[in-house]
Chains A and B, each alone.
Chain A
Amino acid sequence: MTLLPWKRTVNQTEPTGFADLALPLLPSLYNVAFWLSRNAADAEDLVQETYLKALRGFASFAPGSNFKAWIFRILRNTYLTSRSGLAAMRTVALEDESYLEGAIDRQTPEINLIRLGDCAAVQAAMETLPAPLLEVILLCDVEEMKYREIASVLEIPIGTVMSRIARARAALRTALQANVAPREFRA
């Protein structure tokens, strides 16, 4: 089939408008927002505020650069100034960003391997993570971002990203081992 010239142009065009770039990311933004804020109303507020800030600031976004990292950085900064973000970050101090040899437990209990197949158990373990460790796991494992993208979103060095991922996974293993009972977030 021969396409009309203007239709061919449309097919060859990369998405460059705000809607083309932002709308496909809404489910991911909401999922991360809900994990961080821990309730539906705050997550909706967070996504809406992020979206409006991104829409207003879209002129400052450099075309061709990483839009996903850009809008997630807005989400994260908005979360940090929100009520839930202030509470979460105020109560957590990451006292040591260095690696601990114990971060990898070489005597992995068999129960952990079994429980990894239990989605509810893994979710319950994730709920026990403090916000700075949870956010790095969400960006790395759920959003499949590269370390340098995560560093850009969180505005921290790549070494700190690696350190936090190691600490987060160690904490997850400990939580799974401790047989954390699944619980529901309040909706």
Chain B
Amino acid sequence: MTDHLSPATLNAVADGELSADQHATANEHLAGCSSCTASAREQSLLKSATARAGQRYTLPPELEERLASQAEAPATARSMSGIWSPGWITAAALLLVFSSMTVSQRHTRKVEIASAEQAALVTEVFDQHIAMLAGNLPPQVISTDRHTVKPWFQGKIPFSFNLPENLPADTTLDGANLTYLHNQPVAQLLYSIGKHRVSVFVRQKHGATGASDLATEHSGFHVTDFSTGDLDGVAVSDVDPVRLKELVSLIKGAQS
């Protein structure tokens, strides 16, 4: 009798990860070892039990519908790039007819995509703010002086911005981080209002975003945005939303 099968081999038996040779060797051992046979059986039972128990949560139909509607636009684009057989030409002609009927539907879809992208932005901004709070790390540039924080971004981001000179009584600039939203470099300006921490993300305007007057709540945190000619900004904090809006208005005003 050889040594017992290792835990790795017993798991690999249950997971079907052994090569033909390894499988033959393992089978030979299992045929003569009741202990390993019992262990291998239990591994398989455990695997099938977790496979069953793990199928626990059902996708909400409304989420599925919302995401499916967002995937239709790329699917339509793909259908246009197929092989041009006579049948496809007929199909293309039909598609042209249908496309004229679906202009308004596309507009609705665009609105839905914009709404979903905005929801994703809120989540991403929120995650970055929580990461900053949880990390408890000093800002990449630590300064209460706007003339130190602004120049720090030179060469790091492809745009510039202004910081307000006069802040409300208990509001201070703590510093800033260079971070990324939607794969774009952004300035994360860090303020404190009393003991509440505030992140203001300033990024270059892209597409037709902006002027959405976003004011929402996410897990108890308030999120508000602003837009100027060249910049978009989003602020997140657990401070009173009126105070947050006041700070955002000052930052927006400093850009003009």
Contact = CB atoms under 8 A, between A and B. Distances in A.
Interface of A: 4-7, 9, 16-20, 22-23, 26-27, 30-31, 34-35, 40, 43-45, 47-49, 51-53, 55-56, 58, 81-83, 86-87, 90, 99-101, 103-104, 106, 108, 112-113, 116-117, 119, 122-123, 126, 137-138, 140-142, 144, 146-147, 162, 165-166, 169-170, 172-173
Interface string B24-56: 000000000001001100110111011111111
B50 A141 contact: yes
Nearest to A187: B57
Nearest to B53: A122
Nearest to B47: A141
B87 A99 contact: no
Given A119-B52, A126-B54, A141-B50, A5 B87 contact: yes
Interface residues of B, number: 61
B10 A104 contact: yes
Interface in B107-126: 116-117, 119-120, 123-124, 126
Per DSSP, chain A at the interface is helix
B52 A51 contact: no
A56 to B, nearest CB: 8
A30 B67 CA distance: 12
A16 B55 CA distance: 27
Interface in B60-100: 60, 63-64, 66-68, 70-72, 74-75, 78, 82-83, 85-88, 90-91
Contact of A52 (B47, B63, B120): B120
15 contacts: A22-B71, A30-B58, A45-B119, A56-B182, A86-B130, A100-B7, A106-B35, A106-B39, A108-B38, A108-B42, A142-B55, A146-B17, A165-B15, A166-B8, A169-B43
A81 B127 contact: yes
Given A19-B75, A23-B67, A108-B38, A99 B7 contact: yes
B6 interface: yes
